Structure formats: C-alpha cells, structure tokens
Structure 1
C-alpha cells in the first residue's frame, strides 16, 4: 500500500474509534472540528491530484445531467422542432438523421459552420436539415431574417434556400437595398419580398422560433438540434461527422 493513502486511512481509523456523534461536524467539539479540518487540509495538500479527480467526476456528472436534460427538452418540444409545418426542410427530406439549426445571418460562427454543414449534407446524402430563423444580434439580423421568412412565404422553399445560401455568404451591411439587390440577383422580386416583410405571419414565425429557443434554453447561434441532442456553438466538420455516426449507431 502506498504512503499516499496513509493520511486518509489514519483519518478513517480515528473516526472509526470515535463516537457516532463525532461523524457529524455540528456534534464535534471545537478541538475535534479543528483537528478534523487540519487532517483533511493536510491530506489534500499532500495529494492535490485528488482535487482534480473530484473536479473531473463532477464535470462528467454535470455533462451527463446536461445531456439528459437536453434530451428531455427536445422530446417535449419535438413537434415544434421537427414538424412545425413552416420551417424550411432541405438536404434529404427522407434522411435518417435530422439536423435543426437555429441561425442568425450576422453570426460569424454561423457563417463559419455554413460551408462545412453544406459539405456534410452533400457528401453524406442522407441528412435532413431544418433552419430556424433566430435573429438575436441586432437590427441587421432581424432585417435579414424577416426578408428570408418573407421569401419562404411568398416564393417557397427553393427560393428560400437560394436566399439563405446567399445571406450566409454575404459580406457587408444588411440594408433593404442590399437585400433587394441580392434577391433580384437570384431572379426573385426583391421589392415584393421587401413589402411582404411586414406581414403578421412573418412576425409570428420569428416570435415562435424565439419562444421555442427559450424553452430549449438556447441563447446563442449557431445551435443545432441533432436528433435528441442539443449542440450549442460551432462544430467543425469532423465533429459533425462523428456525431452523425454516433446517432446512427444508436438507432441500430
């Protein structure tokens, strides 16, 4: 037996010989309490790696609790997440793995994730992708999302997808003029889409997405719902491929 554990054993032996009430800090005398604290402190100073081990256990426990909590949130809100009847559905609509992205067009990490997500969708061929407009970064974010939703309502999914792709790669400020020009360049009627931004249905869709995000405890972008998992923040292509593999294994 290594000397590393001798202080702990000595402490345990001392407590074993003590009356039952001595195991309760409040029942100890001041001198017993001080001796107990000194022994614990001395042991931890001699073995600081024990603290790190305890922290690792705590972190694993909290991570497991987070995963379980997220899965419960996804299950409770599954219909609104995966089948709201409004959000754009792309990739392979019959894919065996579904990704839902809460996206903001002014989010730098959303733009960083965009080409990698597209590569995954194209190379895999069996992923269903759903976009949730979630503008949280100011007026330009809201303007872009309202324009995108207006496009979806007026011109359908194909037009929305083209505009979404263009907005994700767009540089510069988002203004009504820049949005109209962007849409016109895609063969859409930018002015008509701009006029449609004030429709109550546009407000309702964005408001519903914000309410859903709040229920899911989503506060930033990008955030992905990958089947029953919530993945907050940017994930590189390799990480997404790994998650897809794990999800498929879980279905077998």
Structure 2
C-alpha cells in the first residue's frame, strides 16, 4: 500500500490541472476534482502505475545493494579473515564465498550439495563456512560438535562431520553425534573432549555478532565478493555470480 501511495503521489502531476498548486491549499471541491482526475488517469493508463512501481523497486534494490557493499566492506576482517572459521576449497582461489549455515535449516541442506559441487567443479573457489546456529538448541549442539571436530581432528574431519550433519534427519543428541562420528571413522571421544574449548563458543558468538551487524536474519546467507545474499541460491545462479565476479575483477 505504501508503494501504491508513493506512486500515486508521483503521478499526481500527470492527472490534469487543478486550481491550487499545493494540495494543502486546495478547497474540498478542488481536492475532489484532483482525486477524480488521478483515478481516471490511472484507470485509463494503468501501465503508468506499474512503470512507476518498477522504477521504485529498482531504486530500492540499488540502495539495498549499496548498503550491503558498505556492510561487507566495514566487516571485511571478520568476514574473510577470522582464524576460527573453516576454510575449504582452493585456499588460493581467485573467488571467495562465505556461507552462514545452520545444520537444522532445510534450505541449508538443500544448498549444501550444490555449494560442494560448485567448489569441486570450479576448482578455483575458496569457501569459508561460518557456523550460525539460530534454530534452537539442537542447532547449537550440532555447530558446537562441528567446531570441536575441527579443533580436535582438523579441517578434513570437519568437512566430513559437516556433510554428515547436513544429511542427518534424526534429532541432534550427544548419542546421535557420537554415532555419526564413529560411522565416519572419527574419534568421537576426542571431539567431545574439545567441545567445551572456549574457542567453540567464541566462534559462535563472533558469528552471531557479525550477523547482527550485517543484518543477517536467516540461513543460508552468502557473501559473494562484495555482496550479501540472504537465502537459498541455486547452483546455476551461483555459477553466474562467480562468473560476474571474475569478469569484474578481470
């Protein structure tokens, strides 16, 4: 409704002549004439209203993109340079993608194999994974376990656990996590021994704070180059974004 009112106001000057030049100076009769002229104009030319709305939406999108660029630039060290987050793919890759994930998020699960495929088939992407558990206690426990795996057993084990957690459909419990690690041939006792390491909680807290500063409200959320994209992004779209980043840099 606000968009319609703004568009109607913008079209008011096209509605035809009225006696007063300021709405506040109009008599009631002039206001009624003005309203009728606007109504008739829009009924006769409805495409003008749609064009006005389209222009408004384009401007809003441009403003949002500019604000995102500022947010990414202002938070670049925390986004790209944190020592706590897992870094995978090609560590010397020419394109960096950052993903905020929650293992209980359905869209994260949908995106996960596509992100993996993108990284594997491209071969020149560095992927930074930020644990961002926002969907309750089970999400937090899953992230704590994943981070503890990285601390105790390293990055390769982290990727195995991350893949396993994304595929997990049962409740996230300590027993289920131990079984997952054991099934993958990983030392579950070593992981649980590291789960209370202060780095585990500080990693999650740092990502919460970063997400708040950047206005991230859901998962998955991505940083592609200098742009924040919130929500699921299909593989083909990610490939297009990577191509655009390379074209722009080249």
Q: TM-score normalised to the size of structure 2? A: 0.91
Matches within 5 A, 1:43-122: 43-122=41-120
Taking the aligned partners of 1:121 and 1:247, their CA distance within structure 2 comes to 15
Taking the aligned partners of 2:240 and 2:137, their CA distance within structure 1 comes to 36
1:218 counterpart SS class: coil
Unaligned runs of 5+ in 1: 1-6
Unaligned runs of 5+ in 2: 1-11
Match of 1:197 in 2: 195
Q: Which has the larger radius of gyration?
A: 1
Contact 1:140/1:173, CA 8 A, preserved across alignment: yes
1:23 counterpart SS class: coil
Matches within 5 A, 1:185-224: 185-224=183-222
Contact 2:87/2:126, CA 8 A, preserved across alignment: yes
Contact 2:95/2:124, CA 8 A, preserved across alignment: yes
Contact 1:100/1:131, CA 8 A, preserved across alignment: yes
Deviation at 1:9, TM superposition (A): 6.6
Worse overlay, 49-58 or 87-96? 49-58
Contact 1:8/1:43, CA 8 A, preserved across alignment: no
Contact 2:99/2:220, CA 8 A, preserved across alignment: yes
Deviation at 1:79, TM superposition (A): 0.4
1:184 counterpart SS class: helix
Taking the aligned partners of 1:227 and 1:9, their CA distance within structure 2 comes to 42
Taking the aligned partners of 2:102 and 2:243, their CA distance within structure 1 comes to 27
Contact 1:101/1:130, CA 8 A, preserved across alignment: yes
Cα displacement string for residues 151-188 of structure 1 (whole angstroms, at most 9, x for unaligned residues)? 11222212211211221222322110111111122232
Cα displacement string for residues 125-164 of structure 1 (whole angstroms, at most 9, x for unaligned residues)? 0110000000011111111000011111222212211211
Taking the aligned partners of 1:57 and 1:174, their CA distance within structure 2 comes to 47
Cα displacement string for residues 70-120 of structure 1 (whole angstroms, at most 9, x for unaligned residues)? 111000000000011111110001111111000011111111111111111
Match of 1:233 in 2: 231
Taking the aligned partners of 1:168 and 1:187, their CA distance within structure 2 comes to 17
Match of 2:159 in 1: 161
Paired residues, number:
239
Q: Choose the corresponding residue for 2:36, options 31, 35, 38.
A: 38
Matches within 5 A, 1:7-18: 11=16, 14=17
Q: Choose the corresponding residue for 1:172, options 170, 173, 194.
A: 170
Match of 2:137 in 1: 139
Contact 1:92/1:125, CA 8 A, preserved across alignment: yes
Deviation at 1:48, TM superposition (A): 1.6
Taking the aligned partners of 1:78 and 1:55, their CA distance within structure 2 comes to 34
Superposition misfits of 4+ residues, deviation over 6 angstroms: 7-10
Taking the aligned partners of 1:94 and 1:9, their CA distance within structure 2 comes to 57
Contact 2:15/2:37, CA 8 A, preserved across alignment: no
Q: TM-score normalised to the size of structure 1? A: 0.90
